[in-house]
Structures are given as structure tokens and as C-alpha cells.
Structure 1
Amino acid sequence: MNSDRYDFSSAQRQALASDCAAAAEAAAVALARLDERLLRAEPLLAEGVRQRGHAFEAQALIGLTGSLCPLEDLVLHDAGMDVRSPTREIARAAAMLDERRRLARREPAEVLSPSALRQRLGIDEPEEEDRRSRRTTPSGTAKQVAAPWDRIDREEDDEDQADEDDLGRKEEDDHGDPAFAEIDALLARTRKKLDAWNDLSSDAGRKSLTLRDPGYDAAGRLSRWEAILEEGRGLPAALAAALALDAWLFLEPSERAGELGFAFAATVLRQRGLADVHLPVVGVGLRRGKFRWSPHQALPVRIDGLLGAFREAAAFGQADLDRLSLARIVMLRRCEGRRGNSKLPELVDLFVASPLVTVQLAAARLQVTSQAIEAMLKELGGSLPRELTGRKRYRAWGIM
């Protein structure tokens, strides 16, 4: 997509602020109410909502791309207890889960700094790009540095031609068919190219495996997104975050980390004071709502839809906090009259803090045997959370 098409002038900024004022205010109020509830809630419940939100957000981002990411597989993979081989979608969701946890621990200003953004996206600083693109020879003349794949081609073309000539001379000496000699030469060149591209023994070889579009201009796209992020400082917080997310989805500053835009938009909300104690689950709100973002829509329509996603994200957080509070109260009633060293309250807290709990996961966290966990699950009786897998083995329970 051409990044030059994204135009956001001062007149368009004023029109957008007036058209989406009501939606921005509603989104800001919803997010502020959720943040205040989490601030006043018990630390265990607030932490449970935050940790569960990270998992739900990672699953939702994969779902927005049209792929499938079962929540139980994601949680088991995160705990290192995979039941089956993780798929590509599970690996992407796990990477996003780790990314959100990392961003939640850092200050928003540090996350959104230009150096941190460039480092996260693997984009060199302008000075470093100049040094890499232009190297000065002892005579003072500038020399253009070729791309790795171009250097491989040039360095090996002579060797390939020499191998082909040697093979051709050998075939002539053996009075072979010239057609087969050409095929053998082609196979030899192909083998050498594949060996060069699949060299995992060095950093240069591993870097060559990462194929990138040379005309993508990730640095230019990121610079344009940073400019739009700076232009949004004069807008209301929710509107600025929606504009940052819309610009990220339109400009696509990263070829392979498009989901980061949702985390950066949530970080903008934290930076502007609407989400001081949590990282909003913007992807969950977008997936739960009816709006689907498209670059062919008008800018006010896109922004209004993203603001609606912010409201849905806040509503999901409120509902999740209610579910956890009620479930914890019901389960703690089964813990009354227990001994002081009973592990049952810890199991209840584990249900609150994790989206899914399995026997193996609980045994590892509580440092007891699987038989002890099975006995405690029976003691919970009717207050036991719902079983989600529908299986007789490798079952999982969660507060949904």
C-alpha cells in the first residue's frame, strides 16, 4: 500500500475532532471507568484481569487475520506444556503475548520513543543507514554497498561458470550428451545457491534467510506514522489513539509485525492517562464488535469504528472483572473451615489469574502431585469453573 496516500491535514484534523467528538468521549469515559475499577479492586483480581486480557488479546489478533488460535493451546504453550505441536498461529500468538507483557512493564514514553520503535522493528537509525549504504574508500570516494543476495550472486557467478565449464569439459571428454551437461550445470548452480541461502552457521547466512522487499521503505513508513502520532497530541486521548491505530493499519510500517499497532495504540491510551493500570485489549474490542476496518472506507468511518472498538474493549474488561469477582466469591466458600496449610485457596487464586487451568499446570504451579489437584477439583464441586475442552484427558477449566 502506498504510504503517501494517507493524508491528514490540519483542516481534516479539525473536522475529524468535531465529527467523532461524541464517540471519542464515550470511549474515554468507558476506559476511564474500567481503569478506576481495576485501581480500586483487590490486587489479585486486577492482576487476573490484566493477565487474562493479554491472552485474550493475543488470540483476538490472530482471529482478526482469519486464522485459528485455540485459547487452551495458547495457554499450554505459554506454560511450556504443549499437548500437540504448536502451529504457526500459536507461535505468533505467544510472541504477541510476550510482547504485551513486556510493553505493560515499561513506561509508555519509553515504548513510543523513536529509538525504541526503530529497535523493535529492526530499522537502523538514519546515521547508521548512511554508514551502511555509503562506505568511504581510502581515496575519499564513496562506494555503494550491495545487498547480501546481490553479493552472493556476484561472488558465486564466476565460481558457477567455472564449475559449469569444468563439467562441460568433463562431459565432452566422456563423449556425453551436451543436453545432459547443461542440466547438470544448472543443478550444480542451484545446489550452490541453496547452500548459500540456507547457511545457518553464521550471522550473515541466517540474515540472508529473512527475505525482505527492497522497495518496502519501512523507515519512511515509520517516520510518517511517527509524524501522525505527533500530530495527534492536540486531539483528545481516545481520538489520538484511534488515529494512531488507523495510521498503523494503513501505512503498515512493519512487514511482519502488523499486530504491534494494537499494542502501540493501547500504549498511547496509557500515555494519555486513560489506562494507567492496564493495557487495553483493543483487538478484543474490534473482534467483538460489528465493525471491520478497511482502507477503502472514509477516514471518519474508520476512526468512529475504532473508537467503538475501544468501548467494546472496556466493556469486555468490566465483564471479565465481574466474572472473576463472582467466581472467586463462590469458590472461596468451599475453602471455609480448611486447615491453614491447605492448597485449595491457592488453586482458587490460580483460576482467577489464568484464563485456563489444567491438572498439569496446577500441579506445577502449586508444587503438588496431579492426584492432589484432582482431589481439590472434586472438593470445589459445583463451584468448579466450566470445563472447556470437552475431553476425558488433558482437560482444562476456566472462568469464561
Structure 2
Amino acid sequence: MPYEIGKINHEILLRPIAAAEDALARLDERVARSEVGSGFAARADFFESVSSMWVAGELVHLEDLVLHDAQMDIRAPSHELVIAHRIVRARRRVSRNNPGWAVSRSGIMALAGVAEEISVEAEPVDRGGEGVELELVGDAALSPELAEIDEVLARTQWLVDGDAAVEQRKREPEINVGELLIRDPDWDEGERIGEWLELAKQLERLPTTLAASVLWDGWEHLEPLQRQHWLGQVLVSDFLRARGKVRSHLLAYAVGLREIPRERRRARDRTTRLVAYLDAMSAAAGMGIKDIDRLTLAKRQLERKASGRRTTSSLPVAVDLLMSRPIVSAHMVAKAAKISPRGALNLVSDLGVRELTGRGRYRAWGVL
């Protein structure tokens, strides 16, 4: 069922739109000018991933996600942890590409890990007394030259395989019961992605925050992907970046959604849902500004402790690592600074960072 934009109640949405626009603009300016902007953006990937899993009803510990990203797991990674790390990698990939790359068919397919194949099917055609030839069907005619090459390859394959290959092509593909438990064969992801992209084109005249809210509501309604529903939040963040509202980084949209009660996010009335999504943007921006203030203060305090040291000191490396990760372990510091774990413990002790785990056997530190 396609998503219809319909009539939008601007009178109710006007105040949330203005608040979200102002909050996102302030956040973007702070991140662009802050000395901890890059560290904030790197930390936001982890917080966004954990919050996205929380919104979906799954619990992933921040500590496990950071250690899994550093390939220093202390336990076997769970299925939820693997998905959470995939969100982190997807956000990093989107950040490396141009704004708006993710909000395209090729970008969505690449992030979802689905390869768009150009089907080149060969069907036997009887040419009378001249034998059986293979006729190409599908989207193979990219150019006459490529079509001729594909035809020669298909005919050669048919000659090698013989009549058994032709009979095999005529058969209906067998349905695997195990595959039905994972994927719905009637779920046309390509068509649903096309409908969502068409919706994105229709929202060009709306304010950026309102368009992003409608886009997320359309993603919730259409559900283009069966197993990567979390990708919609990444796409909305890239949409805001493509429209120039948040240029310095990818917005941690799920962090704001986490602050909104489920009753509002899942309300039957669309206007109520749109207000909730706009409030989520304002909440994400407000929490981001507070995080920047906290990181700026923490970095200045740590730099005072690192000042006056020799130029070959590894303390600046440890400070940069603490700014870019929510938590760090001794092995992470040792790997970044290229020193021994014992030396990493000495660095952490000199910086006086807060210990977060409360355990004696395995310890981690961070600025939260």
C-alpha cells in the first residue's frame, strides 16, 4: 500500500517545526566550530546504534559494542550486537560519502547488502530448421554491443550444458522452508524502496525537518526492508545532511526517538506521530549540545594534566581516544599509543579518568 502524503495540519506542526529547525541549526553550528566536533561525531555513532536497537526492542550494552568495534570482545558477540555494529559501520560509510548518497536506490542497496542484479535470462526459441537459439529477456540491452556479447555467452553456456539446462530453467524454483522463516517471498523490496524514494522526491517543497519526519513515517509505513528496518534512521539523518540542515555530522536521530514515549511514536493519528518525530529531533539536538559542552570541559581538564610533558609523551593520544570513544580499555589505549598494557594503565592513572565498570578483573574508563 503506497504512502499518501495527504493534507498536513500545519497549524499544529508549526511550533514543533520551528523548535526542531532552531535546535538542529544550533547543534550543527556547535559541532562545526567545536574542538571536540570530530570526537563527538565518532561517539554519536555508538550512542545512535544502542538507541536504535533500544527503539526496536533490543538491548545492547554500550561497553560490548565499543569493544566489539575494537575487536577486543570479552565474550562471544550476540546476534543483536552484530546488528548494532552494522549500524555503526553503516553510519561511518554514509559519513564518508557525499551528502544524499544514502537516499538513493544504489545507496540503500549498498547499505543493506543487497546487490541489484541485471537479470540475463535465456529462453530457447525454435527457429524452424535452423535449430534452437537462445533469446535474451530482461534488462540486458544496455547497449547493442553488450547485448551481443551476452547473447554469445548465453548460447555458449547452453551448448555446454545441453538440454538439461533448458529443462532446468523451465522448472519452478523450489521454495526452501528455512528461507520462508527468514524472508517473505511476496515482500517486494525493490518496489517498496522505489515508493519510498518517490516519496522523498515529493517532499522537496516542505521544510527540512517536516520532510524528514514524513520520510521516517513513510519508512515505518512502507517497511521497504524486511531485516534492516534500522536503516531508515540512518537515511533520515543523511537526508537532513543533504538538505543542508545538519552538515557537520550525521544526526543521532534514534537518541531523540528514545526520549519520546512509545504511545506518541506509535499513535494512530499521523499528526501526533509527526509531532513526536519533530520533538525527537529537538531532543537529539539538545542532548548533542549538552554532550559537546561536557566533552569540551573534560578535554580541557585532561589537557591541563598532559601539559608540561615531554613531546614524545603518549598522553595526547590517550586524550584523543577518550574523546572519540564512550569508554576505553587498557588494551585499546595500548593499541592506539603503541605501548604495553602496563604503560596504558599508567597513562589512565595519570589522567585520572573515571572508571566505569566497577570490576577488578576487567576495567574500562571513559567520559560520559
Contact 2:64 2:73 in 1 (8 A): yes
1:77 paired residue among 58, 61, 68:
68
- Give matches, 1:251-400, under 5 Å: 251-292=222-263, 294-381=265-352, 384=353, 386-400=354-368
Displacement after TM superposition at 1:128 (Å): 3.5
Distance 1:39 1:373 in 2: 31
Alignment gaps of 5+ in structure 1: 153-192, 198-207
**In structure 1, the residue corresponding to 2:281 is in which secondary structure?**
helix
> When the two structures are superposed, what TM-score results if normalisation uses the length of structure 2?
0.83
**Percent same amino acid among aligned pairs?**
35
Contact 1:60 1:287 in 2 (8 A): yes
What one-letter code is carried by the residue in structure 2 that aligns with 1:311?
Answer: S
> When the two structures are superposed, what TM-score results if normalisation uses the length of structure 1?
0.77
What one-letter code is carried by the residue in structure 1 that aligns with 2:273?
Answer: R
Name the counterpart of 1:116: 107
Distance 1:148 1:245 in 2: 35
- Give matches, 1:3-14, under 5 Å: 3-4=1-2, 6-9=3-6, 12=7
Answering whether residue 109 of structure 2 is matched by residue 138 of structure 1, we say no
Contact 2:90 2:111 in 1 (8 A): no
Contact 2:267 2:273 in 1 (8 A): no
CA shift in 2, pair 1:292/1:78, >3 Å? farther
Displacement after TM superposition at 1:215 (Å): 1.2
**In structure 1, the residue corresponding to 2:118 is in which secondary structure?**
helix
CA shift in 2, pair 1:286/1:211, >3 Å? closer
Number of residue equivalences: 330
Distance 1:347 1:122 in 2: 35
**In structure 2, the residue corresponding to 1:138 is in which secondary structure?**
strand
Displacement after TM superposition at 1:109 (Å): 2.8
**In structure 2, the residue corresponding to 1:348 is in which secondary structure?**
helix
Displacement after TM superposition at 1:63 (Å): 1.1
Superposition RMSD in Å:
2.5
Q: Residue deviations 1:212-239, cap 9 Å, x none?
A: 2111122222122112111111100011
Q: Residue deviations 1:101-156, cap 9 Å, x none?
A: 0011111232222333344446676x936x56xx5322369898666434x8xxxx
**In structure 2, the residue corresponding to 1:275 is in which secondary structure?**
coil
1:241 paired residue among 212, 237, 256:
212
Displacement after TM superposition at 1:16 (Å): 3.5
Answering whether residue 9 of structure 2 is matched by residue 16 of structure 1, we say yes
Answering whether residue 177 of structure 2 is matched by residue 149 of structure 1, we say no
Name the counterpart of 2:33: 40
Displacement after TM superposition at 1:46 (Å): 0.6
Alignment gaps of 5+ in structure 2: 127-134, 138-165
Greater helix share, structure number = 1
Name the counterpart of 1:227: 198
Displacement after TM superposition at 1:332 (Å): 1.4
Contact 1:294 1:302 in 2 (8 A): yes
Name the counterpart of 2:142: none
CA shift in 2, pair 1:293/1:212, >3 Å? farther
